[in-house]
Structure 1
Amino acid sequence: MKTASCKMTCTSKDLLTLFNDLKNGKPVDASRIEDSLINQKLKQTLQKRNFDINFNLLNKMDSPPLRVDFMPLHRLITEEEIEDVLSEIKDVLPTGKFTSGPQVRVFESEIAAFLNKKYCLASSSGTDAMIVALKAAGVGHGDEVIMPANSFAATENAVLAVGGMPVFCDIDPDTFCMTASNIENRITSKTKCILPVHLYGKQPDMKAIAEIADHYRIPIIEDACQSIGVTGLGKYSLCTILSFNPYKNLGTCGKAGAIVTDQQTFATSCIEYMYHGFELDQKNKKTADYGFNSKIDNLQAAIGLARMKYLSLNNLKRLSLADRYIKHLQPYEEKGQIKLPKMAEDHVWHLFTIKIINGNRDQVKEMLYNLHHVETDVYYPILSHQQKTSLVKTHYQDTVLPVTESVHKQMLQLPLYPHLTIEEQDKVMEALIDVLS
């Protein structure tokens, strides 16, 4: 636990310390948690009389569930959150400030403060944020961007949208993130950017990646769309890209994203590209040749502020669920049947991904559903360099990524979201154990 003079921001490293203290029965002083909108519900929860992590954190149900859905849409938002969202919307609607307005500035300042960055530029989506950042970083026609092939299509699409060419890099078999050791032999005279992805909420080894990037003087743009709350986001990069899609750890009720950076000149360029090429604070006066209509709507920013209050609490719930999975499934990893992710201080558990080692992943997935009514997922079923598109046929027929391709055949996502109940999680684990047996 941190000293009394240094309050906890409740990014991932702090949350893991907090969780371990709670799990070991140590008293936690909620006053040592930083006062912020993002920590509001966490502090209120910890201040409850006789709070016990085993009884007061995770949701419970009265009877065993008949089925478990992977990510039920009707449980993405709670009744309490709905009331908070409606209250924020009611404040905005009478003003008519649906697109631009003060909520945007407040939203941006809260995110910037949480991540300890100077600038947060909220956008209409994570994809738009990525496109704008790549443009501002100087990526253009024919430039190469080194990135993994096991991310969501938005990552590669952003590169292609600015005229760049993805250069796919292999990954670590345990973290599923691109590794520094695979980057150097991908660098050419055309390399303009390195684009690591924080997959499933896990941070890549950014220090090692930055050492190579610095040596070759290549900027890093982090795709952290699945990892808001990871400690040290943006420490080694030009900027960090966030997504506030409803499925993310912090979601609005629509599309939204952000660019987070410490670089003033870069931030100014992003702002210009984000809004039609206009000069900052000048009405319709262009300084760039062109730009996009990519700013977040004031209404979505208001919704984001309402839901932001739950982020640290929800990230702690995700951590607790991940810990339960790891604890109860550990014997089956020791038998060599599965491979579990490791508990780490740079993970926010957007998804819980295991590898099926001893068996057929697709057969396991099918049996979990058919025999036990437990829904799992393969989140990105087709790797970028194996898509059936003309681009792939022209440029990536000879691309071989042995680790990415091997791991991709094994990985399986188990249900994990803040409102998953203990009983549902138990059913998932019991079903998996039965199928593995």
Structure 2
Amino acid sequence: MSLVSATPSEIITGDSTSLAQLVIDVQQRRTSQRRCAPSLANRALEAVLAEDAGRLDPAHPDSIFTLEPRLAAGEGVPFLPRERLLTPAEQRTVIERFARAVATGQLTSGPAVARFEAALADFLGLPHAVATGSGTDALITALRAVGVSQGDEVIVPANSFAATENAVWACGATPVLADVDPVRHTLDPAQTQAVITSRTRAILPVHLYGRFADIPALVGLARRHGLSVVEDACQAIGVTGVGVHSDAAALSFNPYKNFGLTGKAGAVVTRDTELAARVRKLAYHGFDPEQKNVKDETFGLNTRIDNATAEVALGLMPRLTLNSYRRTFLAKRYLDCLGDLEPHGAAVLPAFVQDHSWHLFGLQVAAGREVRDAVRAHMRSLSRVETDIYYPVLTHHQQTPLHRKLFAHVSLPSTERLHSTVVHLPLHNNLSLAEQDRVIEALHAAFRATH
């Protein structure tokens, strides 16, 4: 994706680096020369820039942001309203696209799958994308494709969704936990090295909340030990560097994700042609892609994306970058409005960095779990603002018999400390400015009441 007539600094590729810079440019009123690289994912943002770049600023009278829904006194702010995951226009697009698939009868296999994979690979700047039935399916097929099997170990963090460890179990391997970096909240390369054994086959870092893990360091470590690296990028679509250094990366298009569809879907993306071919076979019964119902692998799964879902994805994809810009701007707005909490030692805010998709906006309540829980209760009861703690139970604190057997003596100080202080504020594609203002006011009030 490149524009020959524009300088690199003027081009918005749609990745997290270019969007973070665009947010700064908008705040400083420097948008006149900004242009989008040609990509299906960039079309809505490209149209806004062509019409009036000022619309990217919430202060513009015709901004892409809105004060709706306006909040009446006492009206609450939900953490993630399901009925507003898609705008009315997006909902109409979904219905039209699904009707197209129904009319042709191409509900499972069909041409939309290949078109979506090509559009996704083009947007990410990677040669290969294999669309799957879910992010979990993407993780499983990617791990199997790099050779993870019975008896192997895969290093993972403990502060992730269960799909991360479940993908390892599904390969017959065992998840091994390593502590996280206290700033990124993702796998710490030094802690990862400490748990490598002769049985380790792969490292599975998670881009938690959308923040890019230290993949270059983890890949360097893996190569020294002859290991593979598969990224759990299910919260990190569009983040600069995803799939560039590792063997493969797994994405999720669950309705709650930044690019959410109307059901479960995902993809494996990679630079490796042979690995992509293995993923395609594993994801569809082990069949040879060139011969119908002829097996080329002994074992395979039924994990390919449906053609109907791919049609929906193609319909929604033009707004991907525009929605990512909205999330990035709202995250920066949170940071600008909550910055006064840090000097007083009340909170630790995430940094506004270029390698973040802002799937979630989490901050740490410095005083610890009890004050964190009091802040949440105050916001809920007095301001009717919902917050959340994603993944409330860490992997090594789960109470299944196998978890107790494997992880009873595991200690992860950084992971546990972060887990006891983090709280997540509402942040989604269609969060209104009025709602965000209410969240900011409620958080300040809660800190005054609890400190």
TM-score by length of 2: 0.94
Deviation at 1:266, TM superposition (A): 1.2
Matched, 1:178 2:214: no
Q: Which amino acid aligns with 2:44?
A: K
The alpha carbon displacement at 1:29 in A equals 3.4
What pairs up with 1:130-141 in 2 under 5 angstroms? Answer: 130-141=139-150
Q: Structure 2 vs 1, CA of residues 408 and 253 (structure 1 numbering), >3 Å: closer, same or farther?
A: same
| Residue 425 in structure 1 maps to residue 429 in structure 2 | no
C-alpha spacing 1:86/1:232, structure 2 compared with 1 (3 Å): same
- Match of 2:54, SS state, is coil
Structure 2 counterpart of 1:29, one-letter code:
Q
d(CA) in 2 for partners of 1:190 and 1:367?
48
Other structure's SS at 1:365 match: helix
In 1: Cα distance, 2:70 partner to 2:306 partner? 42
Q: 1:21: which partner in 2?
A: 25
SS at match of 1:183: helix
CA distance in 1, matches of 2:400, 2:156: 19
Q: Given the alignment, which residue of 225, 232, 237 partners 2:234?
A: 225
Whole-angstrom CA distance in 2 between matches of 1:205 and 1:38: 26
Alignment-derived partner of residue 43 in structure 2: 40
Partner of 1:436: 447
Contact 1:22-1:28 within 8 A present in 2 as well: no
Measured on the aligned residues, the alpha-carbon RMSD in Å equals: 1.4
Q: Residues of 1 paired with 2:380 and 2:12: CA distance?
A: 41
Offset of residue 43 of structure 1: 1.2
4+ runs deviating over 2 angstroms:
5-8, 27-30, 46-52, 61-65
- 1:191 Cα deviation (Å)? 0.5
Aligned counterpart for 1:408 among listed residues 419, 423, 441: 419
Query: CA offset at residue 384 of structure 1?
Result: 0.5
Q: Is the Cα contact below 8 Å between 1:18 and 1:28 reproduced in 2? A: no
- Cα deviation, 1:211-240, whole Å, max 9, x if unaligned, reads 111111211000000000101111110001
SS class of match (2:418) = helix
Q: Which runs of 5+ in 1 are unaligned?
A: none
**Secondary structure in structure 2 of the residue aligned to 1:408:** helix
Shift, 1:423, TM fit: 1.0
- Give ranges in structure 2 of 5+ residues lacking alignment: none
Map of 2:288 onto structure 1: 279
Alignment of 1:185-334 (within 5 A): 185-334=194-343
1:402-433 Cα offsets, whole Å, 9 max, x none, are 11011100000000012111111111111111
Q: How many residues align?
A: 435
Which of 379, 393, 399 lines up with 1:368 in the alignment?
A: 379
SS in 1 for 2:357: coil
In the aligned structure 1, how far is the partner of 2:313 from the partner of 2:31?
Answer: 32
**Identical pairs, percent:** 41
How far apart, in 2, do the equivalents of 1:138 and 1:375 lie?
Answer: 43
Question: Within 1, Cα distance between the matches of 2:394 and 2:69?
Answer: 41
Between the aligned partners of 2:226 and 2:246, the Cα distance in structure 1 is 12
1:127-157, Cα deviation, whole Å (9 max, x unpaired): 0111111111111111000110000000000
Deviations 1:231-290, CA, capped at 9 Å, x for gaps: 111111000100010001111100100000111111111111111111122111112111
Query: Does the 8 Å CA contact 1:21/1:28 hold for their aligned counterparts?
Result: no
Q: What is the CA-CA distance between 1:61 and the residue it aligns to? A: 2.6
- Alpha carbons 1:123, 1:294 under 8 Å: kept: yes
Alpha-carbon offset, residue 62 of structure 1: 6.8
